[in-house]
Structure 1
Amino acid sequence: MPAARSAPGPDAAADPSAARTVAYRGVRVPVPAGWPVYRLDEDPARCVRFDVHAVYLGRPSAQPDCPARAVGRTEALLVEPRDDDAARRRGPVRADRLAHQEVAAADGREVAVAVPEAGVTMTGTYGADPGALRSVVQGTRLSADWAPEPGRRRRARVAPVAPPELPALPAAQRVWATGKGFDTCTAPSLRAMRAWRGTYGVGNIYIGGAARGCAQPNLTASWVRSVRAMGYRLIPTYVGLQSPCTPYRAHFDAANAPAEGAKAARDAVARARALGIPRGKPIYFDMEAYDSGRASCRKPVLAFLQAWSTELVRRRYVPGVYSSVASGVRDLGRARGVVKPDAIWFASWDGAATSTHRMVRDDWWQPHRRIKQYRGGHRETHGGVTLNVDSNYVDGRVY
């Protein structure tokens, strides 16, 4: 993990000696003042969010009650059981082993520390300053008196249930789709996806990025294969560093915008390939709204997105961008002399389920290269399953 700045901000590092401590399986975790602690076995509907300070203990539910959107990352920690249950405890517990734990930096501002002696994995996120996360991780101690439950064995992997026979989308092999779509913060369970298939044919997935706000306990290559077999088309989206003119602490600036845009594209491709999303498919960058009236905001964003698109094309993926119709989308449409994405996903919560908008010229991103997010977060119930989602009209590039 990168070294902390010498003068951290007011909500950066916390002194573990002054923090309360919570015990979970084989670890005792210091909790900074003001951070809530959630025990997921007692609160299975709890959404594991990385955009707010919190400590989560337990395995995330397959169907948490998450918001439609959560963007940004700050310091938070998830401590969950390992599937191999400590590999039957390899050797004695060393109660001080984590005191000097070094954690390598990661593009997604997310790090994982395996603690096999305690049967857990600690997954932490951080914002602009990792000092608070380092303090929590290095202040964690092992409990020498903890042992796995007698007779506990490696949990058997359950083969995915074959989805029911459902009608495929028309022309399902096309590079584009038309119809209703939804997006939500965390990939829903397969049960939820089956229940919603009668109403929707397109869904979004947040595949990674330094500002991805929710945990993704369901999102695996197997999940992607299963929902594609149900007839869904997917919108792979990467939530990376944001404009310098936003409240998000994880952002790029004018000096490093091109380098960070290319770096985000490389990480997005690696994550897409890990999920089984092949070349030739789109990946959208989520660029949240910013003050496009200021050149100091607009120019770095265009430089970042040009590098994003250029690098994705070089790696043989289709570049897409999600943004507000009044900032990123309008700026890209008007720009001259820059490499633009092949597909656009614009947000305008006007309630009109159409791919047109007065700010998006008719000759921009045509044909079949547009998605419109026309309604913000709200709850819908289909097939007995309720999710908090945004609504979209799709006439654009999808997987």
Structure 2
Amino acid sequence: MRCAALSIGLLGLAVLAPDLQAAASARVHERPTVTYGGLELPVPAGWRVYDLAAEPTRCVRFDEHAIYVGVPRGEQDCPARIVGRTEAVQLTPIASDGGRRRAAARRRLSSLRIEDGPSGEARIDLPEAGVRITGVYGERRDLLESTLRAASAGPGRTEAAPPEEPGTVGRRAWATGPGFDTCAAPLLSTMRAFRQAYAVANIYIGGAARGCSQYNLSASWIRSVRQYGYRLIPTYVGLQAPCTGYRTRFKAKEAAEQGRAAAGDAVARARYFGIPRKKPIYFDMENYDSDDTACRTAVMTFLHAWTRRLHELRYKSGVYSSAGSGIRDLGRATGIKKPNAVWFAHWDGKARTTGSPYLPDTWWATHRRIKQYRGGHTEKHGGVKLNVDSNMVDGLVY
């Protein structure tokens, strides 16, 4: 990689700083630097830098080492599902205070400590630089820490955040009909376009294995889409089973502790987004080796703790998983607290929630199940394209 400073303005264009172009070849051993607003951030070796002003539909994904700069202005071109996380950074604008606390910001970054937590995420607002840093980590929290400690902040200018629409609505506890899920919360204009085909959609509210940035997602966004007539499936993508290939896994001996911690963090995220008590939150437990007895036991312990803690906090418990692993194991398990509702993946192309060879119809009957029957594919509604999974809903929603 050539070394020169990348100057990425808050209005978007990424260019080589003019005074460094001629010297670039003589300085190949220096670290490249991203400049955004009043923030200067050295780029770790091997990381990519993406300017969202130049690529407004690029997917901001947290499963690869990258720095994303700016605000996604178009519909993010993401796969329908990304699970798993490594270290990555997104820089977005916030209102600036004119740089009055520049020295304090530099001290704060140089001594930054990121507390380990179930969300695997840190958000740092630097009004003196006009920048919000969202940092995520998988196995290397120390790498994220050292990356951000190398940054410096001074005065910068901001761009206006996109407007959001108000609105709210209340409905019964369950919904029926077709639904879709996609990795990143779409633009409101896309949600309006897809409303002609769908009345239920998923939202990823948090979790250490949530793979996509959620720039559009906010309490106002949720109120708006509910006003359009949508029902929502709040989903938390936390630590995964010990026997999977995902980087972000819980340890079998810590399954109960981590399940409770995930539930606590999920409720905090739900409250942040304005999702009230008595509503469901689904844990996304991706497919794992159900024949591995120790792993299966750990997953059941984790989900038992998840459900118990959600109930203590007065939320309903849901679990998303493969029909042939997590959901079947939950149905067969004894001596555990089972979720109020399930969302199972069985990509057989059949848009129905009953008749599964993995789940007897007596399990989670009567408005307590959702089936994901088709994986990622592109659909077009109202002139807008989006990569989605397809679901049939007869279950608990917000």
TM-score range, shorter chain: 0.7 to 0.9
SS at match of 1:256: helix
Cα distance in 1 for residues equivalent to 2:145 and 2:296: 34
**Aligned-pair CA distance for 1:20:** 2.5
Of 178, 181, 184, 2:182 maps to: 184
For 2:126, the equivalent position in structure 1 comes to 115
**2-structure distance, mates of 1:318, 1:44:** 37
Map Cα deviations across residues 59-103 of structure 1 (whole Å, 9 max, x no partner). 233621121011111100111221x1x212214557953333233
Distance 2:134 2:81 in 1: 21
Alignment counterpart, residue 352 of structure 1, candidates 350, 353, 356? 350
The residue number in structure 1 matching 2:307 is 309
| Aligned counterpart, 1:322 | 320
Distance 1:161 1:311 in 2: 32
**SS at structure 2 position matched to 1:55:** strand
Deviation at 1:24, TM superposition (A): 2.1
In structure 2, the residue corresponding to 1:132 is in which secondary structure?
helix
Counterpart of 1:212, as a letter, is R
TM-aligned CA distance change 1:159 to 1:362, over 3 Å: closer
1:131 equivalent in structure 2: 142
| Counterparts of residues 200-279 of structure 1 (less than 5 Å) | 200-279=198-277
Identity %: 55
Report the number of matched residues.
368
Structure 1 stretch displaced more, 19-28 or 329-338: 19-28
Question: Aligned partner of 1:120: which letter?
Answer: V
Q: Contact 2:167–2:223 at 8 Å: present in 1 too?
A: no
The two structures have a TM-score, normalised by structure 1, of 0.87
Matched, 1:377 2:368: no
In 1, are the aligned partners of 2:118 and 2:238 still within 8 Å (CA)? no
Q: Rate the CA distance shift 1:359–1:135 in 2: closer, same or farther, 3 A.
A: same
Match of 2:165 among 160, 167, 171: 160
Q: Retained in 2: the 8 A contact 1:62–1:217?
A: no
Cα pair distance change 1:265/1:195, threshold 3 Å: same
**Which residue of structure 2 lines up, in the alignment, with residue 397 of structure 1?**
396
Deviations along 1:343-364, one digit per CA (max 9) or x if unpaired, are: 0100011111111211111211
**Letter of the structure 2 residue corresponding to residue 192 of structure 1:** T
Deviations 1:182-240 (A, max 9, x none): 00011111111111111001000011111111111111111111111111111111101
Q: Is the 8 A contact 2:179 2:390 kept in 1?
A: yes
What SS class does the counterpart of residue 131 from structure 1 fall into? helix
Counterpart mapping for 1:262-301 below 5 A: 262-301=260-299
Q: Give 5+ residue unaligned stretches, structure 2.
A: 1-28
Q: Does 1:28 align with 2:33?
A: no
C-alpha change, 1:336 and 1:80, in structure 2 (3 Å) is same
Task: Measure, in 1, the Cα distance between the counterparts of 2:215 and 2:74.
Answer: 7
Q: Which 10-residue stretch deviates more, 107-116 or 277-286? A: 107-116
Worse overlay, 34-43 or 133-142:
133-142
CA distance in 1 between counterparts of 2:351 and 2:329 reads 23
Q: Is the 8 A contact 1:27 1:142 kept in 2?
A: yes
Is the deviation greater in 332-341 or in 60-69? 60-69
Specify whether residues 348 and 157 from structure 1 end up closer, same or farther in structure 2 by C-alpha distance, changes over 3 A only: closer
Would you say the 8 A contact 2:116–2:141 is kept in 1? no
| Greater shift in the superposed pair: 336-345 or 102-111 | 102-111
**1-side partners of 2:72 and 2:239: how far apart?**
25
Per the TM alignment, residue 18 of structure 1 is displaced from its structure 2 partner at its CA by 6.0
Structure 1 residue 27, shift from structure 2 partner: 2.3
Greater shift, 203-212 or 53-62, is seen at 53-62
Computed over aligned residues only, the root mean square deviation of the Cα atoms, in angstroms, reads 2.2
User: What's 2:13 paired with?
Assistant: none
Give the structure-2-normalised TM-score: 0.87
Rounded Cα–Cα distance in structure 2 between residues aligned with 1:106 and 1:19? 30
Contact 2:92/2:133, CA 8 A, preserved across alignment: yes
Contact 1:320 1:344 in 2 (8 A): yes
Aligned pair partner of 2:55 in 32, 37, 43:
43
Q: Given that residues 355 and 372 in structure 1 are in contact (C-alpha distance below 8 angstroms), is that contact kept between their aligned partners in structure 2?
A: yes
Q: For residue 98 of structure 2, what is the amino acid of its counterpart?
A: R
Bigger shift: 31-40 or 87-96?
87-96
Give the distance between the partners of 1:215 and 1:363, measured in 2 at CA.
37
Distance 2:316 2:383 in 1: 36
Summarize the alignment of residues 56-95 of structure 1 with structure 2, pairs less than 5 Å apart.
56-61=68-73, 63-82=75-94, 84=95, 86-92=96-102
**Can you list the C-alpha shifts for 1:123-181, whole angstroms capped at 9, x where unaligned?**
111112212212211112346xx653xxx7x9488462779xxxx9xxx8322111100
Specify the code of the residue in structure 2 equivalent to 1:121: R
Instruction: Summarize the Cα distance change of 1:317–1:79 in structure 2 as closer, same or farther, 3 Å threshold.
Output: same
- What is the distance in 1 between the residues matched to 2:278 and 2:150? 45
